[in-house]
A and B are shown apart, each in its own frame.
Chain A
Amino acid sequence: MDSRISGVPSELDRQYILSGAAATAPTLTHGPGAIGNSIVLEGERTLDEVAGCELSVFGVSKSFGPVAALREVSLTVTGGEFVTILGPSGCGKTTLLRVIAGLELVDSGRIALGGADISRLPANRRPVNTVFQNYALFPHLNVFENIAFGLRARRYAQAEVDRRVAAALEMLHLDELPKRRINQLSGGQKQRVALARALVNQPDLLLLDEPMSALDAKLRAEVQLELRRLQRRLGKTFVLVTHDQNEAMTVSDRIFVMRDGRIVQSGPPVDVYDRPGSRFVAEFLGTTNLIDARRENGAMRTEFGLLSPRELPSWERGVLSIRPERIQIRKDKPAGNGVRAIVSEVIYRGDHLDVFVQPANLHLRGVPGAVNVTAGQQIWLELPRHHLEALGE
């Protein structure tokens, strides 16, 4: 230590410095191309290969004893797409992910990746990697070795391991941490190590099992955006499993909503949210108003009188659904779908107002300032026809 202060490194110090340099050499030598390295991850994949990453699930069923976790699930994910499997706990979403990863075997049905049937391949031979729910990092290995694990298993040369891990570390802003032990990492860092450990293998398909459930709300929102940008940049196929509809809306190109082992609706976030196909989907994604209704002469008879929905249903009795933010407050009686109501409660939420009105405890949402109502006030509401959905169960 003394010699360092005096500026003349002792023999010991020099050795230390040299070995230190050697340990970080791969990163240094790749320094100029470091930015290029992360591009290599995407650049190595041609358009054909991206197209080859299409995932198809055909009529997959899986039971655990008497409990059916998956019932004839079919879905297709195009190469380069980011899809989310969304559903409440116990709906089978994690099981679906696990059969794709090879951590469970399907009872019947078929899973194909890039046209090849992988249903009977063991997990370690599928070109698929997973980010586990609690990350499942190897506690006895440091960050570098955790990320290198898959490459070492496939006996990559040391130089290639160094190069790829360095690129992955850089891509996920982990450059400073390769020597850290896992227990010295924060939740967000662990999550990025788990991502790096999966992505470094350049899988055809990345599976993410509720990867953000262990993060706090603010960090989660950041990570969701980062994850979406990362996926766009890499052009890889991502399949995310979550019970958080917000997360699903934020990251995905398409959402598959699951219930009781079945996919009940799929489509882009805007479709699933605005055009829910069932009462379950309407209630599970965001909040909604459900109004009991009966079909009557080309309109729906409700406690507010006759309302006309976007499309007339085939059933006689059911519910109409309208999102709180779609209900409009009007000074005068609107031309169609008008409802006379009394404000019962106004809740200030900072970025929006929640207004509850009678009858039927209807819930509206508005922008503070734009909506000026007080409890007890009589108002006119318009339930725009375009946003009023008639739903079966």
Chain B
Amino acid sequence: MNRLLVWYGELSTTRKLTARGLALLAIPLTWSLVLLVAPLGAMIAWSLATRGADGEILWILTADNFSRLAGFDSFGWTKAYLSILGSTVAMATVTTAFTILLAYPLSFFIALRPPRRRYLWLTLVMIPFCTNLVIRTYAWMLLLGNQMPPARLAQFLHLIEPAAALYPSPFALYLGMVSNSIPFAVLPLYTNVERLDWAIVEAGRDLYSGPVRVFFHAILPQTLPGLVTALILTFIPAMGAFVIPDLLGGGKSWMLGNLIQHQFGVSRDFPFGAAVSLVLTLLTLVGLLFLRRSGEESFTP
């Protein structure tokens, strides 16, 4: 049916609008087919394939890659991969917790500055975000080196061995991880806090509430959307991190990201790498769904 209609002031027909809609859709559709659907399909296919003796992909379909990740191999059961998975989730959780703990008050601090200084502070938070991750990580390594003041201080306080550096260590790992994700958490929180309805805070005060009750009932619920976004933007990249764990955490703390990188690099075991990637993707998706649901329950606009 070709009907004449006015579309936002433009005289047009249904057929013309459909054609235009499809043309506009073509670009993003191609984009996501090539860059999302195809790689995801390849990943799923590879995860079910078998590694040949020289690292080539043999199309013998099997679920062995997944049972290997679960710890079952020809020698029996090992917890190696599961503990990597566990420590990755633990590392991402701790990183997210520290990040939110720092970013939440920081976004209030920035949002409560006078407008001009607000943008100065935001820029300061964003500058590291504009630097390459590897460069930033090497900068941390330089700063945490054994001759540098922080390490000197730690040596003086007998927190580390004399002449030792502050990395690799869990401390350096979390320092790198948290500093890396702070901009991702501050931005959504800041935009949320900036739009905070302070009249609701005053209403809480007017209704006999002290600071704690005002925080939990008048401020926190209002910042929940920003908080959920900040959680997602911190947790997901942290789950896949491999540069920082490798450089600042040292060889001892392997994460899923390192495992995947290794399969596609040194080990040349594409099928196993694909299986681990798939599991990581699924884990992240489950986390996202969980967050979204809890977000919906506590705050429906």
* Partner among A103, A138, A139, A183 whose Cβ is within 8 Å of the Cβ of B205: A103
Is the CB–CB distance between B203 and A130 below 8 Å? Answer: yes
Q: In the complex, what residues of A have CB within 8 A of residue B213's CB?
A: 153
Q: In the complex, what residues of A have CB within 8 A of residue B222's CB?
A: 139-140
Q: Which among B56-64, B86-94, B156-164, B293-301 touches the partner chain? A: B293-301
Q: In the complex, what residues of B have CB within 8 A of residue A149's CB?
A: 204, 207, 209, 217
Q: A101-143: contact bitstring with B at CB < 8 Å (1 yes, 0 no)?
A: 1110000000000000000001111001110111011111100
Q: Which among B144-152, B194-202, B283-291 touches the partner chain? A: B194-202
Which residues in window 172-208 of B have CB below 8 A to A? 197, 199-200, 202-208
Known contacts: A139-B221, A140-B299, A183-B301. The answer to whether A124 contacts B203 by CB under 8 A is no
Q: In the complex, what residues of B have CB within 8 A of residue A141's CB?
A: 217
Whether A201 sits at the interface, judged by CB under 8 Å, is: yes
Question: B212 to nearest A CB, angstroms?
Answer: 11
- Nearest neighbor of B210 in chain A, beta-carbon distance: A124
Q: In the complex, what residues of B have CB within 8 A of residue A137's CB?
A: 200, 203
Is the CB–CB distance between B298 and A138 below 8 Å? Answer: no
Whether A243 sits at the interface, judged by CB under 8 Å, is: no
Whether A150 sits at the interface, judged by CB under 8 Å, is: yes
* Partner among B202, B208, B299, B301 whose Cβ is within 8 Å of the Cβ of A153: B208
- Nearest neighbor of A128 in chain B, beta-carbon distance: B206
- Nearest neighbor of A140 in chain B, beta-carbon distance: B221
Which residues in window 81-101 of A have CB below 8 A to B? 101
Is the CB–CB distance between A136 and B202 below 8 Å? Answer: yes
Known contacts: A133-B199, A136-B197. The answer to whether A124 contacts B217 by CB under 8 A is no
The number of residues on chain B lying at the interface, defined by a beta carbon within 8 Å of a beta carbon of chain A, is 22
How many Å lie between the Cα of A141 and that of B206 in the bound state? 17
Which residues in window 226-271 of B have CB below 8 A to A? none
Q: In the complex, what residues of A have CB within 8 A of residue B111's CB?
A: none
How many Å lie between the Cα of A295 and that of B200 in the bound state? 55
* Partner among B199, B208, B221 whose Cβ is within 8 Å of the Cβ of A132: B199
How many Å lie between the Cα of A353 and that of B301 in the bound state? 48
Whether B218 sits at the interface, judged by CB under 8 Å, is: yes
Is the CB–CB distance between A129 and B206 below 8 Å? Answer: yes
How many Å lie between the Cα of A189 and that of B264 in the bound state? 62
Is the CB–CB distance between A201 and B208 below 8 Å? Answer: yes
Which of A137, A153, A154 has most chain B Cβ within 10 Å? A153
Is the CB–CB distance between A103 and B300 below 8 Å? Answer: no
Is the CB–CB distance between A201 and B207 below 8 Å? Answer: yes
- Nearest neighbor of B205 in chain A, beta-carbon distance: A123
Known contacts: A140-B221, A140-B299, A149-B217. The answer to whether A154 contacts B208 by CB under 8 A is yes
How many Å lie between the Cα of A122 and that of B224 in the bound state? 27
How many Å lie between the Cα of A165 and that of B197 in the bound state? 25
Whether A197 sits at the interface, judged by CB under 8 Å, is: yes
- Nearest neighbor of A134 in chain B, beta-carbon distance: B199
Is the CB–CB distance between B205 and A122 below 8 Å? Answer: yes
Is the CB–CB distance between B207 and A103 below 8 Å? Answer: no
* Partner among B208, B224, B299, B300 whose Cβ is within 8 Å of the Cβ of A150: B208
- Nearest neighbor of B224 in chain A, beta-carbon distance: A140
Is the CB–CB distance between B221 and A138 below 8 Å? Answer: yes
Is the CB–CB distance between A138 and B203 below 8 Å? Answer: yes
- Nearest neighbor of A145 in chain B, beta-carbon distance: B217
Is the CB–CB distance between B200 and A138 below 8 Å? Answer: yes
Whether A181 sits at the interface, judged by CB under 8 Å, is: yes
- Nearest neighbor of A133 in chain B, beta-carbon distance: B199
Is the CB–CB distance between B206 and A153 below 8 Å? Answer: no
Is the CB–CB distance between A124 and B208 below 8 Å? Answer: yes
Question: A187 to nearest B CB, angstroms?
Answer: 16
Is the CB–CB distance between A103 and B202 below 8 Å? Answer: yes
Is the CB–CB distance between A140 and B298 below 8 Å? Answer: yes
How many Å lie between the Cα of A136 and that of B221 in the bound state? 14
How many Å lie between the Cα of A150 and that of B298 in the bound state? 21
How many Å lie between the Cα of A150 and that of B213 in the bound state? 11
Is the CB–CB distance between B207 and A150 below 8 Å? Answer: yes
Question: B210 to nearest A CB, angstroms?
Answer: 6
Q: In the complex, what residues of A have CB within 8 A of residue B205's CB?
A: 102-103, 122-124
Which residues in window 42-70 of A have CB below 8 A to B? none
* Partner among B203, B217, B224 whose Cβ is within 8 Å of the Cβ of A136: B203
* Partner among B197, B206, B218, B221 whose Cβ is within 8 Å of the Cβ of A103: B206
How many Å lie between the Cα of A128 and that of B208 in the bound state? 9
Q: In the complex, what residues of B have CB within 8 A of residue A139's CB?
A: 200, 221-222, 301
Known contacts: A153-B208, A154-B208. The answer to whether A123 contacts B217 by CB under 8 A is no
Is the CB–CB distance between B200 and A124 below 8 Å? Answer: no
Q: In the complex, what residues of B have CB within 8 A of residue A197's CB?
A: 207
Q: In the complex, what residues of A have CB within 8 A of residue B203's CB?
A: 130, 132, 136-138
How many Å lie between the Cα of A231 and that of B126 in the bound state? 54
* Partner among A130, A138, A140, A154 whose Cβ is within 8 Å of the Cβ of B206: A130
- Nearest neighbor of B202 in chain A, beta-carbon distance: A103
Q: In the complex, what residues of A have CB within 8 A of residue B208's CB?
A: 124-125, 150, 153-154, 201
Known contacts: A140-B299, A183-B301. The answer to whether A101 contacts B206 by CB under 8 A is yes
- Nearest neighbor of B298 in chain A, beta-carbon distance: A140
Binding site for B on A (CB under 8 A): 101-103, 122-125, 128-130, 132-134, 136-141, 149-150, 153-154, 181, 183, 197-198, 201
Binding site for A on B (CB under 8 A): 197, 199-200, 202-210, 213, 217-218, 221-222, 224, 298-301
15 other A-B residue contacts (CB within 8 Å) besides A132-B202, A150-B207, A153-B207: A102-B205, A102-B206, A123-B206, A124-B207, A124-B208, A124-B209, A128-B206, A136-B197, A138-B218, A138-B221, A139-B200, A140-B222, A149-B207, A149-B217, A154-B208
A-B contact pairs, 16 of them (CB 8 A): A101-B206, A122-B205, A124-B207, A128-B206, A130-B202, A132-B199, A132-B203, A136-B199, A137-B200, A137-B203, A138-B204, A138-B217, A149-B209, A150-B207, A153-B209, A154-B208
Q: Which 10 pairs, one residue from A and one from B, show the smallest C-beta to C-beta distance? A: A150-B207, A136-B199, A136-B203, A140-B221, A153-B208, A123-B205, A153-B209, A130-B206, A136-B200, A124-B208
